Amino acid sequence: MAVESKTFQVEGMSCMHCVHAIKTAVGSLPGISKVEVDLMGKKAEVTFDPAQVDTRSIIEKIVEAGYEVA
């Protein structure tokens, strides 16, 4: 299984609850193997299988959770 890693710039996170919300939302998608969120750096690094999920779905999931992807 080929795995890809991509870092997204996330706006609107203010606390650990936000970090958890993004991890849970993105983690619910198929093909996600890891979600690392950097609150201060406003970043989310997602490791995923591009055959199962694409970056657009990941961005949509973050937006759906109430945050913005720059």
- Token duo for residue 68: 């913005």
Which of 2, 4, 5, 14 binds Cu ion (CB under 5 A)? It is 14
How far is it, in rounded angstroms, from Cα 29 to Cα 27?
5
Q: Using CB under 5 A, which of 1, 15, 40, 70 touches Cu ion?
A: 15
Should residue 17 be labelled a site residue for Cu ion when binding is judged by CB under 5 A?
yes
Neighbouring residues of 40: CB distance < 8 A, sequence distance ≥ 6? none
Residue with the two structure tokens 């609150």: 39
- Residue 2 or 14: the one with the smaller Cβ distance to Cu ion is 14
| Interacting residues with Cu ion (CB under 5 A) | 14-15, 17-18
